[in-house]
Structure 1
Amino acid sequence: MDKNELRKHYTALRSALGPTQIDSLSIAISNRLLQLPLWQGSYYHIFLPIPSKNEIDTSHILTILFGKDKNVVIPKVVGNTLENYLLTDQTKLKTSSWGVPEPMDGLSVPEKLIDVVFIPLLAYDEQGNRVGYGKGFYDGLLAKCKPDTLKVGLSLFGPEKKIGDVRKEDIPLDYCVTPEQVYRF
């Protein structure tokens, strides 16, 4: 399938899930993350979910990150790019016009400091290619990160065999974590 078909298909699958299912699946993903060799870093970029889109609840991962005393970085959309801010107790969030909780201001974090990026997905394939909402925000972010930054997709579902319309500027995942399994690419 191509990306647009996958977007429609996985948006419908997510829409069919209830809040209790999303929470259970999110906890399972958080627990699976603990199996990965990615906890030696300092700066961890994570998305805050859009509840209306039934995205993974990342609050469980935030608890792990703060428990491990990591620097947590969250994105804010500015124009067609993601700016990165340190999440602290003083960070004030505001919901954007897209429904994304974003920092109003704060300490900016350069991409080159980020060790791990947790990436929201609609779909991905067995080669680690990913499908999001199609705006290219994460491709832009990942292109600015250091080459050894780990790219970890978080998905409620397993992989597709192959995405038909992958572009050369699409940056693949290193891992994808689902409630049932960890995939390494």
Structure 2
Amino acid sequence: MNIAENTADTAQQAANVVQADVQNQVTQSVTTLDHLKDFLLNHGPDVIYAIIIFIVGRYVARVFKNLAVRMMTHANYDHTVITFVSQLIYYAIMALVLLSALNKAGIPTNSFLAAFGAFGLAVGLALQSNLSNFASGLLILIFKPFKAGDWIAVGGVEGSVKGIQMMNTAITTKDNKTIFIPNSSITSS
């Protein structure tokens, strides 16, 4: 009888441990669901508004990008300028949309703005001469003082314009050599 009582006591203790463990897990699950419910009630509408802002903002960014492409195509701008400016417009609007959506969702965006500003300043200082060539290339492509096939003389080089890129202009000389001249030196001279 002693063995049967020990087995029954052991089984009862194991059942009590299992029961306490199950009760603990159920309590934790209910507590987690209560926290989730409270979070959704407090922040759910803002998260939904943030998602709506993001979806509508993407649509608006695409509309402005397509509008810019149509306007520049109608004005007969170079394909390189059209692609660059339309992408610039799209990503600038998307950056604003993303910051607005994050702000509406309750995420503080001040640190993001400060980080983007510092990053932009660092990149701008590091690429100062390249940005100058890039800006000059945009000016040449937009205002079209010359185009591919024109004969020009700039910086002691004379020849036919082979192509205008964002950073430099390729000129083919009389002796059939291709020389690349930085766009900033073309606009400054």
With normalisation by structure 1, the TM-score equals 0.22
If each structure's helix is expressed as a fraction of its own residues, which one has the higher value?
Answer: 2
With normalisation by structure 2, the TM-score equals 0.22
If each structure's strand is expressed as a fraction of its own residues, which one has the higher value?
Answer: 1
